[in-house]
């Protein structure tokens, strides 16, 4: 599949009174609602987690009060966070490694790595996330590896040169203001022949085929009152444009593009493996609101499987990539 440049999207909506049953979209209002909704969606764990919440993939349970989070139902976590954890842990070879998990969030991946026997330090800027990760560690069997968490901004955090065997960026590099500097720091604190793992999404890869597929999934759910995100227009053309706008330009904060991340990764590390994985379905599952748990689980599984099939046939663009690399002995351009 070709790696496209960031699409140039123009949205055109006609003004006028809203007819019965027809959604008339105001571009500014819609974009504002989309941005606000996306910010809320990715802050839901910190905001909605009850005082006894633990993010342990080996003792999943339902957390009904966390309505805006995938953690609300164990079946949704099994389709999302759990496979990502397996993808990362399965990409690490060796025993008793020293690992840095940048942007560890709830700490569920750090915990699984410590259970394998690795010594892990998880960093996160969000105090609430570190609180959840620490509580989960205290109430879980953490295995033979040492596990620590620290509230820190990675851009300002000072790590020891050559201290780590592996540095992990899991869905955090897109949000860092300077991905090249972050990766330079990772390269510095890695041991000789140390590894980097970057599991990251690249929403700027979105194209109209992918947006059209998402529209076909989201709009029927919305009409059934089974979807919580801002309403899509009834006009498919406008709906597709709005989905692309949400993904590519609808967020106020800057999101690093695929090229802004992959260029320094390839410059600073020798690529060992690269692969694309399903991720669009995460957004769909986050906003699902089906009262019947069994029906919700079946539909969620179908959407994930359908995305996997369409990616395999090249019908839609991917959003999540895994990059595994080895620390370069000499950075190109510094000889």
pLDDT in tens, 19-53: 333 333 344 444 444 444 444 444 678 888 999 99
Closest CA to 169 of 134, 54, 184, 160: 184
Token digits of residue 78? 């099994």
| Predicted pLDDT of residue 14 | 34
In this prediction, residue 247 carries a pLDDT of 82
Give tens-digit pLDDT for 235-262: 999 999 999 988 876 565 678 999 999 9
Residues of the chain with pLDDT under 70: 1-43, 142, 249-253, 332-335
Q: Which of 183, 178, 177, 181 is nearest to 198 (CA)?
A: 183
Residue-level pLDDT at 141: 80
Sequence-distant (6+) residues with CB within 8 A of 104 are 110, 122, 123, 124, 129, 133, 149, 170
Provide the pLDDT for residue 122.
98
**Residue-wise pLDDT tens digits, 198-231:** 999 998 899 999 999 999 999 999 999 999 987 8
The model's pTM is 0.85
User: What is the model's pLDDT at position 249?
Assistant: 64
Instruction: Give the per-residue pLDDT at 88.
Output: 97
d(CA 179, CA 160) in angstroms, rounded, equals 19
Please report the pLDDT score of residue 250 as a whole number.
59
What distance in Å separates the CA atoms of residue 193 and residue 196, rounded to the nearest whole number? 10
How deeply is 52 buried, as exposed, middle or buried, from its count of CB atoms within 10 A (0-12, 13-18, 19+)? exposed
Q: What is the pLDDT of residue 19?
A: 30
pLDDT value of residue 329: 81
């Amino acid at each position: 599949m070709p790696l496209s440049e960031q699409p140039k999207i123009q949205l055109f909506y006609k003004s006028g009174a809203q007819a019965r049953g027809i959604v008339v979209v105001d571009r500014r209002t819609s974009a504002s609602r989309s941005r606000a909704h996306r910010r809320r969606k990715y802050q839901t764990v910190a905001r909605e987690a009850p005082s006894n919440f633990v993010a342990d993939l080996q003792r999943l349970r339902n957390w009904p009060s966390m309505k805006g989070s995938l953690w609300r139902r164990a079946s949704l976590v099994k389709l999302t966070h759990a496979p990502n954890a397996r993808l990362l842990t399965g990409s690490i070879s060796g025993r008793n490694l020293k690992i840095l998990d940048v942007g560890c969030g709830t700490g569920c991946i750090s915990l699984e790595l410590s259970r394998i026997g690795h010594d892990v330090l998880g960093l996160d800027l969000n105090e609430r996330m570190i609180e959840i990760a620490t509580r989960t560690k205290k109430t879980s069997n953490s295995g033979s590896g040492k596990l620590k968490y620290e509230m820190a901004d990675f851009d300002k955090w000072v790590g020891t040169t050559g201290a780590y065997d592996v540095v992990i960026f899991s869905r955090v590099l897109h949000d860092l203001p300077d991905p090249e500097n972050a990766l330079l720091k990772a390269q510095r604190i890695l041991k000789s022949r140390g590894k980097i793992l970057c599991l990251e999404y690249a929403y700027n890869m979105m194209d109209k085929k992918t947006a059209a597929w998402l529209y076909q999934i989201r709009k029927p759910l919305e009409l059934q009152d089974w979807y919580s995100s801002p309403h899509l227009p009834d006009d498919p053309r406008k709906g597709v444009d709005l989905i692309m706008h949400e993904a590519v330009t609808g967020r106020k904060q800057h999101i690093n593009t695929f090229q802004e991340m992959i260029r320094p990764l390839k410059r600073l590390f020798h690529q060992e493996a690269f692969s694309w994985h399903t991720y669009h379905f995460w957004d769909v599952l986050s906003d699902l609101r089906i009262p019947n748990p069994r029906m919700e689980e079946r539909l969620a599984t179908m959407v994930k499987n359908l995305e996997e099939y369409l990616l395999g046939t090249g019908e839609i663009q991917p959003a999540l990539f895994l990059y595994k690399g080895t620390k370069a002995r000499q950075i190109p351009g510094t000889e």
